[in-house]
Homo-oligomer: A and B are copies of this chain.
Amino acid sequence: MSLADQVEYGAAPLRLGVSLEFSAFAAGLDYSDLPDEVVHACRRGVLDWLGCAIAGSRHPTIARLLAGLDVLGSLDRVPAIGQGRRLGILEGALANGQMGHVLDFDDTHMEGVVLHASSPVLAALFAAAETDVFDGRSLIVAYALAFEAGVRTGKASPAHHDGGWHLTGTLGSIAAGVACGRLLGLDAQQMVHALGMAATQAAGMQQNRGTMCKSFQAGKAASNGVLAAFLAREGFDSSEEIIEGRRGFSRIFSTVSRPEAMLAGLGTDWHVLRNGYKPYACGIVLHPMIDGVIALRDFGVKPEEVAALEVTVHPQTVRITGVTDPQTGLQSKFSVYHSAAVAYLDGNAGLPQYSDRRATASDVVTLRGKVRVATDERLRNDEAHAVVVDTSGGRHEVHVDHASGTRANPMSDAQLEAKFLLNARPVLGEARAAQLARTVWALDRLADVRQILALAAAPEDLP
């Protein structure tokens, strides 16, 4: 009798560890168990991620990744987004995952666990889905579960982020492994092994912020997750206490361990519902400040009349984005100074505002020298205060209670689709981008999810 059978039929009361109990839940969940709002959150997540990856496909970092993969060689199985070509299963997961995160424009989970789940998870799922026929509902169940696996592991390891790890790499690997395991239909025993194998590959260092490695870590997490699931299906094993064990993930990746967080509210409290989408192409911690600075423009103080831009943010914002004088587009995403300056100058903080050119533009450099940053621990991390001081000493203030894109102030479906189309059109063209959006909004009725990457892969000028 398999473990799944024992759990399902409960012949005797079992005392399972949290890794096993979580895995039994993941293996047993049915599409019909998902509330409608969870299904819809999954549609939104897929659409937003695709847009980010399509826009990201043109980033120079991706060209270098593909050049390296070409020397190593790979099969032609997974459509590489925006490239009009295919890669092997593991390489496709890697490349598409890095594309999704390379612009720092992809989704961010809120409320304590700063995880960009979709880049590792969806890159992994769409790569795994090239091995067989999987319908949209299978993908939705797997995707929803990924948030449970990734965020709950983060909550089980509450000091994980402060420890210096890049959660999109570490938790992303675990989320991708569980998601792929679910897509492949693993039983509970196989699932706990996929979880264990994904965790044992979990990696990614915050030290690499502002380098090509940050988004690479998202791609690598996708590839790790795929490998974990396919090996688990072949009977590859791992520890069955990978989260809670004496040297389990929650013990060694965090100085505080709360493995019970794997199970609390499981099946009723759905973490995909707290997934945030970014109106701005930078770290989510900057968004409330950017909302505030953009709003300051309404006071009509011209940039040359600005004596100071004073912004007050949660201390975490400065810890993560304290770069004072960025020299590249990548670095500028980690600069609260740059972000305030471009928000004031351009009234936006989209992809053009984080280009290499804009990072060193003279108007930006001048204004960011006038940005003063204060921190206040009483602020929530989606809250900020912004003041523009004009050269005659006048002060104009804005307070942002909840950043746009957060759960309390979410992007509407129409705003999300508009963001998607802005991201996708330059690569796919108008018609294909629109067709892709329609396909994703109807994801739960899609018979074969391979249609999605097929649409996302081909640039406009290819057949």
Tell me the A residues contacting B by CB distance below 8 Å: 61, 64-65, 67-68, 71-75, 77, 88-90, 131, 163-166, 169, 196-197, 199-208, 211-213, 216-217, 220, 226-227, 230-231, 233-239, 241-242, 245-249, 251-252
Of chain B, the residue at the smallest CB distance from A202 is B203
A161 to chain B, nearest CB (A): 11
B249 touches A236 (CB 8 A): no
A230 touching B68 in the complex, CB below 8 Å, given contacts A169-B200, A207-B248: yes
Residues of B within 8 A of A88 (CB): 72-75, 88
A205 touching B252 in the complex, CB below 8 Å, given contacts A68-B231, A200-B213, A226-B72: yes
CA distance A255 to B88 in the complex (A): 39
Residues of B within 8 A of A248 (CB): 205, 207
Beyond known contacts A163-B252, A207-B248, A216-B231: 17 more, CB 8 A cutoff: A61-B236, A64-B231, A64-B236, A68-B230, A68-B233, A72-B89, A73-B75, A73-B88, A74-B88, A196-B207, A200-B204, A202-B203, A203-B203, A206-B247, A206-B252, A213-B238, A213-B239
Taking a contact as CB atoms closer than 8 A, the residue among B72, B89, B201, B241 that contacts A203 in the complex is B201
Taking a contact as CB atoms closer than 8 A, the residue among B72, B239, B251 that contacts A211 in the complex is B239
Taking a contact as CB atoms closer than 8 A, the residue among B77, B165, B196, B208 that contacts A73 in the complex is B77
A197 touches B216 (CB 8 A): yes
**Cross-chain pairs A/B with CB under 8 angstroms, 28 sampled:** A64-B235, A68-B227, A68-B230, A71-B230, A72-B88, A72-B89, A72-B226, A72-B227, A72-B230, A73-B77, A73-B88, A74-B75, A75-B88, A88-B88, A90-B90, A163-B252, A200-B217, A203-B203, A205-B242, A207-B239, A207-B241, A207-B242, A207-B245, A207-B246, A207-B248, A207-B249, A208-B238, A208-B242
Instruction: Kindly report how many copies of this chain are found in the complex they form together.
Output: 2
Residues of B within 8 A of A90 (CB): 72, 90
CA distance A251 to B205 in the complex (A): 11
B208 touches A65 (CB 8 A): no
B212 touches A68 (CB 8 A): no
Residues of B within 8 A of A211 (CB): 196, 237-239
Residues of B within 8 A of A241 (CB): 207
A236 touches B68 (CB 8 A): yes
A205 touching B213 in the complex, CB below 8 Å, given contacts A75-B74, A233-B68: no
Residues of B within 8 A of A65 (CB): 231, 234, 236
Which of A71, A164, A205, A247 has the most C-beta atoms of chain B within 10 angstroms of its own C-beta?
A: A205
Residues of B within 8 A of A206 (CB): 247, 252
CA distance A200 to B200 in the complex (A): 14
Of chain B, the residue at the smallest CB distance from A249 is B205
CA distance A328 to B212 in the complex (A): 43
A200 touching B205 in the complex, CB below 8 Å, given contacts A212-B236, A234-B68: yes
Residues of B within 8 A of A131 (CB): 71-72
CA distance A404 to B77 in the complex (A): 50
CA distance A246 to B71 in the complex (A): 34
A213 touches B230 (CB 8 A): no
CA distance A248 to B65 in the complex (A): 23
